[in-house]
Amino acid sequence: MRFSQLIWCLMFILQLSFFADAMLDPVDFLALQAIRKSLHDLPGSNFFHSWDFTSDPCGFAGVYCDGDKVISLNLGDPRAGSPGLSGRIDPAIGKLSALTELSIVPGRIMGALPATISQLKDLRFLAISRNFISGEIPASLGEVRRLRTLDLSYNQLTGTISPAIGSLPELSNLILCHNHLTGSIPPFLSQSLTRIDLKRNSLTGSISPASLPPSLKYLSLAWNQLTGPVDRVLIRLNQLNYLDLSLNRLTGTIPGRVFAFPITNLQLQRNFFYGSIQPANQVTIPTVDLSYNRFSGGISPLLSSVENLYLNSNRFTGEVPASFVDRLLSASIQTLYLQHNFLTGIQISPAAEIPVSSSLCLQYNCMVPPLQTPCPLKAGPQKTRPTTQCNEWRG
């Protein structure tokens, strides 16, 4: 009898041990309850259907555990076109002390980003994009020293980008585009930072040469109000494969050495650059967009290896190099937009046939286009720039 009782007691203890291992930490349990109360499924979403707190929360949709701790929280149906969630992010999120990943799908989450997120010392991935998060980015996020990806794009954020964010030592992806951020770009110290996307904000000031690490491969600062030169900045960024500085108020010249980089896309349109472009080596970039600036001087023949070249709406002068004509007629150049400059000639026969796969626009220069080619509607109806403008520019 005593032997059977002993066996029963041992089995009971083993069962208690099993359930203790499977049971979620009470702090994490209460935090998940608070998060659930503050968020709701939008019509058509059924994400929270599995969140029944009479069962193990580690089995909930979007909740991933390691032992008795929540380590990853992905809120909302990740499938494309899903309605997402509404509500606010409860400050109890900061109680999930072992959390390494936090993401919320696009939806209608409003309110400020809780400062308690800074308590998540193991957080590596934070992505809450395409919602209605407002207020400032908490400077205390700089205390999350292991953070690698910060994506708060397409929200309603205001205020500045704190230097504390720039001091994150392991940051590799910073995506804050499509917000209402102001102030200057802080220096970034992480030597593993490969992507910065700050386009469509209201950032001002100049870009310090030391503010961007050479590890960058993707840099988009378009649609801001940045000023000053960029030559010393670009020379340092020798690993870029995407660069977009369009629609700012940048000045100065573009260093020739920047074109020696293997950049896949380069966009510098609608700025206020002064000076000419003199590449030092043959350009290997498939697409170069320098349109809507104030570049001047001659067009370097080294740019003729570009497949899609947009130099329109600048102040380029002189003749178009013969290498452009050769590559255009061989269909090596797909797009060559030179309209709205002060160019004086191009050595191409009026009987030449432009390949169907290629586009050439020459109108509104200081010459009569030797052949008529279709141009974008924005080029306007005028074929030649008024002589008075050409004379004034020569003067």
Give the tokens for residue 332: 């090596």
CATH architecture of 272-394: Alpha-Beta Horseshoe (3.80)
Q: How far apart are CA 328 and CA 306, in angstroms?
A: 10
pLDDT score at 361? 96
Query: Residue type for 326, please?
Result: D
pLDDT score at 255? 47
pLDDT score at 222? 86
pLDDT score at 121? 97
The dihedrals phi and psi of 171, each to the nearest 5 degrees, come to -60, 130
Cβ-based burial of 350 (10 A; exposed 0-12, middle 13-18, buried ≥19): exposed
Going from N- to C-terminal start, the domains of the chain cover 272-394
Q: 336 has which bridge partners?
A: 309, 360
pTM, whole model, 2 decimals? 0.79
Query: Residue type for 229, please?
Result: P
| Per-residue pLDDT of the chain in tens (395 residues, 90 and over written 9) | 454 544 444 443 433 333 344 589 999 999 999 999 999 999 999 999 999 999 999 999 999 999 999 999 999 988 877 899 999 999 999 999 999 999 999 999 999 999 999 999 999 999 999 999 999 999 999 999 999 999 999 999 999 999 999 999 999 999 999 999 999 999 999 999 999 999 999 999 998 988 999 999 888 898 999 888 777 887 787 787 777 777 788 776 554 445 555 555 666 666 655 555 544 455 455 767 777 777 677 887 877 877 888 888 888 889 999 999 999 999 999 999 999 999 999 999 999 999 999 999 999 999 999 998 999 998 999 999 999 999 876 65
Location of structure tokens 């308590």 = 119
132-136 sheet: strands from edge to edge: 39-41, 85-88, 108-112, 132-136, 156-158
Element (H, E) at 281: none
Asked if 118 and 95 touch (Cβ cutoff 8 Å), the reply is no
CA distances to 193, 194, 254, 256 from 214, rounded to whole Å, are 9, 9, 18, 18
CA distances to 20, 335, 346, 383 from 6, rounded to whole Å, are 21, 86, 100, 101
How many helices (H) and strands (E) are present in the chain, helices listed first?
6, 25
Q: Which residues contact 371 (CB under 8 A, 6 or more apart)?
A: 348, 349, 350, 352, 354
pLDDT score at 10? 45
β pairing state of 108-112 and 132-136: parallel
